[in-house]
Amino acid sequence: MHKTSISRKIFLTFNYILLTVTAVVCILPLINVLAISFSSSSAAAAGYVKLWPVDFTVASYKYALTKNEFLTGFFVSGKRVLLGYIINMLITISIAYPLSKEKKALGMRNVYAWFFIITMLFHGGLIPTYMTIKSLGLLDTIWALVLPGAVPVFNVILLMNFFRNLPKEIEEAAYIDGAGHWRVLWSIYCPLSKPALATISLFVLVGHWNSWFDGLIYMNSPANYPLQSYLQTIIIEADPSIVSSNELLDMSEISNRTFKSAQVFLAAFPVLIIYPFLQKYFMKGLVFGSVKG
């Protein structure tokens, strides 16, 4: 018994050390970006900034928050997250509930399930998807960013399995009292599925907020870029159609590196705010929503 206790302590100590090191490795780059964004241009250019700002200044943030392109991209991303979240969650819940039933309660249940699973394994490709979006007249609209991913199949499977783990006696009692499927879904299943819904919400919010590639291919005008697409063109490509010569001069005076760091941190800030409120549900939602054997 004593030997088992010691081995358990060793195991826990190793886990704590490993997780601590992993957390530090993940956090340090973000701290470095934050420190650079608050540092002077000369200190950032000279490479003096590590984990603490040098010659503290908020000039980069002031400039970033006055740029119309940044504010417009922020607004487009916010609208995308709002519409995408509502559509994704409604569709996910509506599909997961019937698929969580037994085969005798929903005929051809397995056929429907495989219909969705196949879409995870096979994709039409970028060009057919683009042609479909174009033929539907969705190019350069917010719907081109929201509708192609309206059915997140992984989230459907996660929520479906969570629904299947809920006590059937509660559902049966509701049916006896005269409740229908919609009442059972919204009054019983959803309130009992907060961990899974919180986990899915995190996936959806972060996925829409961080997505940048679809904005580049579906938006013809840079004015319609979501924030991450705008940042990608600024940081990676430096698209001259977005940044004028005067703006490039201003950025050089501020320091291109500090300005980019300020924008990156501003873009990550909403996710950093939301995550702590949903994290407590994260593990429970994943464990109970995992695929049953």
Query: What average pLDDT score do residues 253-275 get?
Result: 74
For residue 38, the SS3 value is coil
Judge if 80 and 48 occupy the same domain. no
How many Å is the maximal CA-CA distance in the chain?
73
Rg (CA), the chain: 24
Q: DSSP characters for 44-112?
A: HHHT--SSS-SS---HHHHHHHH-HHHHHHHHHHHHHHHHHHHHHHHHHHHHHHHHTS-TTTSTTHHHH
Could you give the number of structural domains in the chain? 2
| CA nearest neighbour of 60 among 257, 269, 268 | 257
Provide the pLDDT for residue 283: 57
Judge if 3 and 99 occupy the same domain. no
Contact between 282 and 198 under an 8 Å Cβ cutoff? The reply is yes
The predicted-structure confidence for 158-191, as pLDDT tens digits, reads as follows 899 888 888 888 888 888 888 888 888 998 888 8
Judge if 24 and 114 occupy the same domain. no
Query: What average pLDDT score do residues 46-61 get?
Result: 81
Measured at the CA of 107, the angle between CA 104 and CA 109, to 5 degrees, comes to: 95
The predicted-structure confidence for 180-232, as pLDDT tens digits, reads as follows 888 889 988 888 888 889 889 888 988 898 888 899 899 988 888 998 888 77
How much of the chain, in percent, has pLDDT values that exceed 70?
85
Judge if 282 and 141 occupy the same domain. yes
> Is residue 293 very low, low, confident or very high in pLDDT (cuts 50, 70, 90)?
very low
Judge if 87 and 204 occupy the same domain. yes
Judge if 253 and 271 occupy the same domain. yes
> Is residue 1 very low, low, confident or very high in pLDDT (cuts 50, 70, 90)?
very low
* Final residue in a domain of this structure, among 18, 37, 56: 56
Q: How many CB atoms lie within 10 A of CB 107?
A: 9
Provide the pLDDT for residue 291: 47
> Is residue 278 very low, low, confident or very high in pLDDT (cuts 50, 70, 90)?
low
Query: What average pLDDT score do residues 10-34 get?
Result: 88
Provide the pLDDT for residue 281: 62
Is the model's pLDDT at 280 over the cut of 70? no
Contact between 160 and 200 under an 8 Å Cβ cutoff? The reply is no
The predicted-structure confidence for 77-99, as pLDDT tens digits, reads as follows 999 999 999 999 999 999 999 99
Measured at the CA of 68, the angle between CA 145 and CA 236, to 5 degrees, comes to: 65
Provide the pLDDT for residue 131: 92
Is the model's pLDDT at 125 over the cut of 60? yes
Q: Which domain holds residue 237?
A: 63-290
Q: How many CB atoms lie within 10 A of CB 289?
A: 24
Which phi and psi (to 5°) does residue 159 adopt?
-70, -35
CATH number of domain containing 127: 1.10.3720.10
Judge if 183 and 210 occupy the same domain. yes
C-alpha 237, offset from chain centre: 23
| CA nearest neighbour of 147 among 92, 209, 76, 88 | 88
Judge if 85 and 180 occupy the same domain. yes
Q: DSSP characters for 169-201?
A: HHHHHHHHTT--HHHHIIIIIHHHTHHHHHHHH
What predicted TM-score, i.e. pTM, was given to this entire model? 0.75
Is the model's pLDDT at 24 over the cut of 50? yes
> Is residue 18 very low, low, confident or very high in pLDDT (cuts 50, 70, 90)?
very high
Judge if 51 and 67 occupy the same domain. no
